[in-house]
Amino acid sequence: MNDTADRKNFLTPNEVASLLMVSPITVRQWAQKGILEAQTTAGGHRRFSRQIVERFARDRGIELPGTRDRLLIVDDNHQFNSYLQALFSAEVEGLQIFSAFDGFEAGRLVQQHKPTVVLLDVMMPGIDGFEVCRRLKQSAQTRHIPVVMVTALDQPSDKIQGLESGADDFLTKPVNEIALITRVKNLARLKTLNDEMMMRAATDRQLGLTENGELDRALSGDFGRVLVVEDHARTAQSVVRPLAQFHETVVEASMEKAFEHLTVEHFDLVLVSLSLKSGDGLNLCSKLRRTDTTRHLPIIVLIDQGSDARLLHGLDAGVNDYLTRPVESHELLARVKTQIKRKRHTDYLRNQLQRSAELAIADGLTGLYNRRYLDGHLSTLIDDASAGNRELSVMMVDIDAFKNVNDRYGHRIGDSVLVEFAKRLRRNVRGVNLTCRLSGESFLVVLPDVPMERASQIAERLRAQIAAEPFLGPSSERIRLTSSVGIARLNGVQDSGDALVKRAHSALENANRCGRNRVGVAA
């Protein structure tokens, strides 16, 4: 493989991980399982064709960094269609815009371009917007594309029909430009989060990781906990009545008490009135955005008609959305649901990122550190020991004849034995020691400040305990196993991690040759 071409057209596992927003270990597992095709260099390193990675992302609906949001405008009124194109071109930087003038053309463009958001008129020739929306939401490939209906229909029944057909939002002509741009930006961000979340969920399934209902909750905007900050009793009641059917709703008239609630309790959303008698609701919004515990909490403000200037200040302060008094219940529920979904998407992704970070350094079965972490951290421990002229020992531990366990009882029982073995290993060493699973039934323990003699005692104690306590098999069958250990110590400042581990491995092999169930010590 030509080096120049390799740099230009092929990516390292770390580069692929960065593009797809997963951990490098996930990329390597994809390659091992054949999920993502890889090539191997003469030096034994994996490289991934950029073209294959892009196709992999496209097939799974993953938006790669650098791709632009795409807006599809569907309206048979050519003048209004052009007006919307001009508005979004001027107000949203980098937005790619497509337009359609009937439902059939809209369906074709959705399949071709997979827009980030669809603006959809209702009254159109051929098939109306309600039917277009229903078809989009019934397809697995397009159901997660947000749809905003923009129409001259202004009856509550029309809005209900639009929301029931699957629309994520519903705006009436003539449209408020601030409202329209705010809704589209919010839904575009939600779509991006959704794409990332679905991709990570697909990865979990491919790698056999369980989800325990976390994904289902993240996809739902129902049954949230909402705090309403409002000191007008009638307005508060008009908001609480519809919300209480689907969410746990708390009302607080005082901004100070509301802030206290939000910083010590869990809420999915806060509704803040900008017409409070007790103070300026915008100050509360700004304070929430400056506080670590509430920085990501969705905020919807309640404003009076004609308060565009106040609204713009609110959006600058980090407000996510707004509702105009008098509050229409269906619009309220739709806005609340969208923002709760967005928060749960964000929380899910944050948890997944944490999980990915843990997977990058931890063995997925036993919870011990993995080889990757050992390779990075062992040199640090050696440098520290060498600088302080301190002792350092390592133990390499194998379960003897472990293949027989898998052959006789199956891999499920074999895995449970490995998990229990890891627990016993942890019980026999200090928490400050570095305990790793190298591969299969092979483990390594790094013992800082432990001389060889003491390491031998620890190894012998572990060996004896493994031999004395059977492992549980199927139907509580007792499985008797033994282990062998190889020990090596650090030999001065010139010693390396590779050399140290190699000596421990040689000591282990010697123990195995001598009959197993024993401790070998490197010369």
Q: Which residues are part of the catalytic machinery? A: 441
Max distance between CA atoms of the chain, in angstroms, equals 89
Asked if 101 contacts 72 with a C-beta cutoff of 8 angstroms, the reply is: no
- Which token pair is 97? 């815009």
Quote the CA–CA distance of 244 and 33 in Å, as a whole number: 48
Nearest-5° Cα angle at 42, 39 to 46: 35
Strands 117-120 and 147-151: parallel
Q: The dihedral of CA 390, 393, 394, 399: what is its sign?
A: negative
Closest to 303 in 3D by CA, of 368, 249, 246, 230: 230
Rounded to an integer, what distance in angstroms lies between the CA atom of residue 148 and that of residue 437?
Answer: 51
Smallest Cα–Cα separation from 249: which of 262, 235, 239? Answer: 239
| Tokens matching residue 192 | 């991006």
Amino acid letter, residue 510: N
The single-letter DSSP state of residue 168 is S
As given in the structure block, the two tokens for residue 444 are 């390594």
**How many Å apart are CA 90 and CA 80, to the nearest integer?**
15
